[in-house]
Structure 1
Amino acid sequence: MLHLLNLFAAIALLVWATQIVRTGVLRLFGESLRRVLAVSMAAWPGAMLAGAAVTCVVQSSTATALIVSSFVGQGLVATAPALVVMLGADVGTSLMALVYSFDLSWLSPALIFCGVVLHLSREKTTAGRLGQIAIGLGLITLALQLIVESTQPLVEAPLVRALLVSLPNDLTLELIVGAVLAIVSYSSLAVVLLVGTLAQEGLVPVATALGLVLGANLGRALVAVLSVSRSDIVTRRLPMGSLLLRSLACATVAPFMGLFHVWLQQWVPEVLLQVVVFNLAFNAAQALLFVPLTGPLARLLERWMAPAPLTDDRTPRHLDPLVLTSPSLALSCAAREALRQADAVETMLRGIQPVLRDNDLDQAERLRQMDDVVDGLYTAIKLYLTRISRQPLSERESQRWTEIVSFTINMEQIGDIIERVLQDIEDKKIRKQRRFSDAGMAEIIHLHERLMANLRLGMSVFLDGHPRDAQKLLEEKALFRELEHAYAANHLGRLKDNTAESIETSSLHLDLISDLKRINSHICSIAYPILEPTGALAQTRLRPSRVGGLDDVRG
């Protein structure tokens, strides 16, 4: 019983170690891996090599599948090149299984020791995260050693040997068991290494081990399908296509399993290598032979899994739950959705001018209803950011998190102000059939145009985070304040001249330019989280007195 418990513990350690490596790599290099995949999909050789390379780094083709699935779901890449990436990812997993099949016992203590030192001494730095990855790699090799040590006493037990002899040679059963093991462990790499080690120790016949490996490959595709089961239908295309290709490959190989077993015994003397070489050969042949099928299969999937037409703009499109374990990727998704929220605000703001000019009640109603879109996206982004904050964030990620929160809050408040502005225009101007003076309308139009330019600049500042543009945005705040004061004084001058239009619309006119100023203040607030870390912001706008206090304020 003790030996069996040790074996289960070693298996659990192997699965957990692969999770540590995958999580560590995604947190440290997530955005870089995403960029590598994005720029490598122009031709199939590059896409396949990128899929293999990223999977070797991440230690999981499932993680690669989730990243590329989010690309497909967001419309950044077509289905066909994404399928090629997944073929390469399967080869990458097989290559890592081959690497771990060699004796790396000497490497395990060094990786664990160096990793722990780095992680504990510099936990929140890049070196600390590299230490976490080193710990995971060291634990993988240690777990394989423990599996070997735990299986030796089990192999020698008479009861175990009797059970092995009685096992049916049923490929269907082996496929099912291998797939279930891959789903439960969330790692086909761990299953292949486990099965190879058990076969090496004589606990599992080699023919059975090959069937279990084939099942583990099928299970790997099922894991990706299950992982995106709650995502939109476009995101689910890639895992489903990968599952179809894997099923076709397994069906093609199944009749020749006995022949492969004989060939492996002739050419590969070591049992563990027979298992991992079969796994590598299967995935390499699948990658090379099935590339021509990716195009037709992609077209079939796009017809079969076509998205339903969008009916509600409040539904978030970029908040991908699959990448929440990688803060850099998740923050990129949140930023894209925040820009979509800003696009809705820009549409509302742009619509103020035609409503004022044409007295269009229908347009005013449509624009006011768009505030529900802004509020709905704000709520979705806020909840998504809360889920991101549960992950350990680097200093740059924490700053970006703050920038996105600040940006979405300002956009939501701008939407509320625009809604009230439109209601005031409707109640105080359109329904009462009043009009602004020509000079007053020209001033409002000028403020509105400056506001639109500042909003576009604010969106650029949020997207790029360049301090020079953020500084320019704050300079616009002072200029806008001066214009608001000047135009308010001009309006009062027209009241003294008894201009009829100005008298009728005085309340609305002053409220309107004040509200435009408030909107501009929220836009300019986008610059604060970007400039604050640089030390470019002053503590106060009050001017210090010469005697150390504050100047007297005279009314």
Structure 2
Amino acid sequence: MKQLVDLVPALAVMLGANVGTTLIVQALSFDVAAMSPALILLGALMFRRGQNPQIHDLGRVFVGLGFMLLALHQLLAVLTEYADTPAFEAVLSAISKTPASSVILAAILTWAAHSSVAVVLLVMSLCSKGLIDPYQAFALTLGANLGTAINPVVEGNTTGDYSAKRLPLGNLATRLAGIGIVFAALSPVVSWMTAIDTDGARIVANFHTAFNLIVAVAVMPFLTPFANLLVRLLPQKIDATDPGRPRYLDASAKETPVVALQAAAREVLRLVDILGDMLAGTKAALTSNDRRALSSLRKMDTILDRLNRAVKQYLTSIDRDELSESDQHRLDEILIFSTGLENAGDVLDQNVLPHLAKRLRRGLKFSKEGQRELSDLIDRLSTNLRTASALFMSQDERVARMLADEKIVFRKAEREGMSDHFRRMRTGDLDTTETSSLHLDLLRDFKQINSHLVAATAYPILERQGELLQSRAIRQASPESSFT
């Protein structure tokens, strides 16, 4: 079901992307290439002068857009030069006698050029010059739409997992169906389109947009059954070495809930190992310049999410009426701990790794003192993770108190880090201030990770024993009930 839920929106996005590319053709049907120098200049100024990271990145966007418009304009100019040659005219004359050959030729050109936009722009140019009539132009446009759907199928995943082909083959199937229907009714379509506009370039652009828009609207209501069909025809290959595949969640064990709970608990310990590897990789990334290491840490978070999802689906499918009260408590403990581990991984993925990527992007280095403090906190997090794992299995109150006390260490580190940061700001050392600001962000994130570990293991035990205050602001309880 997970694949089906993922596939339906993916197919919808693909339909939307097909419509979106036609808007580029619509824009380029006007003379927008003159804007490219202005876009490049504006982007360069924003990139070099922008102090705000968002303005800095937006400058890159403008530079890229300017060069893209310039490159498309140059490509169209080169292709148009060949359009006036006798050989090219002879080819056009030959394929005009068999419209199906126009579709095939445009599909081959698009596949070779990896750009339906370039081929459609060429067709627009030929039609505007009267070298081809609208009927042949529409047939070539249909071929361009076919060719751009062939590329992902031919050049996609080749690992033998047929499920990886679901999206590109689904996109190709919808294109083929649309092309077949429109090609059969091409003559009346040409009459309708030419009645709306007589400009050769505009009618090709309008037909290209209308074709993709109509296909998207027609297919959208049938995406779910279509995705079902693709899942049945292209089953997923089971990879025993896939780290995100559950190892201990035996479906048959659910007939004996006690055994199923033990299997789920064993699976959750795999999440502990993965999060531990992520912490070790984070520690190495404090000084490393390897960007690929950050990418592999993000992949670990994906594995963590997949396993947590599998554990939740497994446990929620157990009939709670067949569980004793203690077993129901254990089921809840497993779910809470698994979710806490996933939340800790999300903090690493969404907060810590972007900070470390920023350090690499700006060429920053932590001071030796700051690096040692961050490394020590990561080591402490790793120790707390092992403690949380032991507490998850033992449910020992003493271990719960020890783990809850660790929050004091991280609160103290954050307060001291903030004081040091403000001190550096007063000295006016901008480079050191930027590094200390990043240091402060990481301290806050490490504190949040530790909070997830404590909340997922220590708090439920302390709450059952009446040793957990509902609010840290209330100090009327006895000293032994001060764990927060």
Compute the TM-score of the two structures, normalised by the length of structure 1: 0.47
Give the match for residue 471 of structure 1: 410
Give the match for residue 249 of structure 2: none
Give the match for residue 138 of structure 2: 210
1:199-348 equivalent positions in 2, closer than 5 A: 199-202=127-130, 204-226=132-154, 228-230=156-158, 233-309=162-238, 311-312=240-241, 314=243, 333-334=298-299, 336-337=301-302, 339=304
Give the match for residue 343 of structure 2: none
Aligned pair in 2 of structure 1 residues 536, 233: CA closer, same or farther (>3 Å)? same
Deviation at 1:121, TM superposition (A): 4.5
Deviation at 1:252, TM superposition (A): 1.2
Deviation at 1:273, TM superposition (A): 1.0
1:383-532 equivalent positions in 2, closer than 5 A: 394=361, 445-446=396-397, 448-449=399-400, 471-472=410-411, 532=439
Deviation at 1:283, TM superposition (A): 0.9
Q: Using the alignment, how far apart are the partners of 1:108 and 1:227 within structure 2? A: 31
Q: Using the alignment, how far apart are the partners of 2:365 and 2:113 within structure 1? A: 32
Q: Using the alignment, how far apart are the partners of 2:302 and 2:399 within structure 1? A: 25
Q: Using the alignment, how far apart are the partners of 2:129 and 2:359 within structure 1? A: 40
What is the CA deviation profile of residues 65-92 of structure 1, one whole-angstrom value per residue up to 9, with x for unaligned ones?
xxxxxxx9x7594433432332222222
Give the match for residue 45 of structure 2: 117
Aligned 8 A contact 1:182 1:219 in 2: yes
Q: Using the alignment, how far apart are the partners of 1:244 and 1:411 within structure 2? A: 54
Q: Using the alignment, how far apart are the partners of 2:115 and 2:80 within structure 1? A: 24
Aligned pair in 2 of structure 1 residues 155, 334: CA closer, same or farther (>3 Å)? closer
Deviation at 1:293, TM superposition (A): 2.1
Matched, 1:173 2:101: yes
Q: Using the alignment, how far apart are the partners of 1:454 and 1:174 within structure 2? A: 75
SS in 2 for 1:280: helix
Q: Using the alignment, how far apart are the partners of 1:180 and 1:243 within structure 2? A: 15
1:366-385 equivalent positions in 2, closer than 5 A: none
The gaps in structure 1 that reach 5 residues or longer are 1-71, 318-325, 347-385, 423-442, 458-468, 476-527, 538-555
Q: Using the alignment, how far apart are the partners of 1:473 and 1:338 within structure 2? A: 33
Aligned pair in 2 of structure 1 residues 417, 214: CA closer, same or farther (>3 Å)? same
What is the CA deviation profile of residues 106-141 of structure 1, one whole-angstrom value per residue up to 9, with x for unaligned ones?
422211221233334459943333223223332343
Deviation at 1:297, TM superposition (A): 0.8
Q: Using the alignment, how far apart are the partners of 1:398 and 1:174 within structure 2? A: 59
Matched, 1:185 2:113: yes
Aligned 8 A contact 2:156 2:165 in 1: yes
Q: Using the alignment, how far apart are the partners of 2:164 and 2:305 within structure 1? A: 19
What is the CA deviation profile of residues 209-259 of structure 1, one whole-angstrom value per residue up to 9, with x for unaligned ones?
322221222223223334542475544322222221111111111212233
Matched, 1:129 2:94: no
Q: Using the alignment, how far apart are the partners of 2:29 and 2:220 within structure 1? A: 28
Aligned 8 A contact 1:86 1:242 in 2: yes
Aligned 8 A contact 2:35 2:66 in 1: yes
What is the CA deviation profile of residues 388-440 of structure 1, one whole-angstrom value per residue up to 9, with x for unaligned ones?
x99997569999xx9xx989x9799879999xx99xxxxxxxxxxxxxxxxxx
Deviation at 1:281, TM superposition (A): 1.0
SS in 1 for 2:228: helix
Deviation at 1:152, TM superposition (A): 5.8
Q: Using the alignment, how far apart are the partners of 1:295 and 1:76 within structure 2? A: 8
Q: Using the alignment, how far apart are the partners of 2:301 and 2:4 within structure 1? A: 12
SS in 2 for 1:196: helix
Matched, 1:79 2:7: yes
Q: Using the alignment, how far apart are the partners of 1:412 and 1:314 within structure 2? A: 23
Tell me the amino acid that sits aligned with residue 210 of structure 1. F
Aligned pair in 2 of structure 1 residues 406, 285: CA closer, same or farther (>3 Å)? farther
Q: Using the alignment, how far apart are the partners of 2:166 and 2:409 within structure 1? A: 40
Deviation at 1:276, TM superposition (A): 1.1
Deviation at 1:96, TM superposition (A): 2.5
Deviation at 1:474, TM superposition (A): 6.1
Q: Using the alignment, how far apart are the partners of 1:338 and 1:294 within structure 2? A: 28
Q: Using the alignment, how far apart are the partners of 1:233 and 1:473 within structure 2? A: 53
Identity %: 28
Tell me the amino acid that sits aligned with residue 123 of structure 2. V
Aligned 8 A contact 1:123 1:129 in 2: no
Q: Using the alignment, how far apart are the partners of 2:443 and 2:236 within structure 1? A: 47
The gaps in structure 2 that reach 5 residues or longer are 247-290, 312-352, 415-434, 445-484
Q: Using the alignment, how far apart are the partners of 1:150 and 1:113 within structure 2? A: 25
Aligned pair in 2 of structure 1 residues 398, 272: CA closer, same or farther (>3 Å)? farther
Deviation at 1:180, TM superposition (A): 3.0
Deviation at 1:280, TM superposition (A): 0.8
Q: Using the alignment, how far apart are the partners of 2:114 and 2:363 within structure 1? A: 30
SS in 1 for 2:185: helix
Deviation at 1:295, TM superposition (A): 2.1
Aligned pair in 2 of structure 1 residues 75, 165: CA closer, same or farther (>3 Å)? closer
Aligned pair in 2 of structure 1 residues 79, 536: CA closer, same or farther (>3 Å)? closer
